[in-house]
Amino acid sequence: MKNGVFTVPGDGDIDFVPIFKTLERENYKGWMVIEAEQDPAQANPFLYAKMGRDYIKENTGI
């Protein structure tokens, strides 16, 4: 696997906003799991989890 491919929403190249809009339009009520398979020596797990959570909250209101 290429180094640095996995990260949290808001940190990578994928634009999650259209995905969030589709989920909202379809009235999705299930789970959303945020996970980043990163080297904890390079990416503090708590800080990256918080960064992903903040991005979701900012772009969805949840």
Question: How many other C-beta atoms are found inside a 10 Å radius of the C-beta of residue 52?
Answer: 20
pLDDT at 5 over 90: no
Alpha helices by DSSP H, the chain: 17-25, 45-60
Q: 34-48 pLDDT, tens per residue?
A: 776 788 888 898 999
DSSP assignment letter at 31: -
**Average pLDDT score over residue span 46-62:** 92
60, two tokens: 């969805």
What pLDDT score was predicted for residue 42?
85
What pTM does this model have?
0.79
The whole-chain average pLDDT of the chain stands at: 87
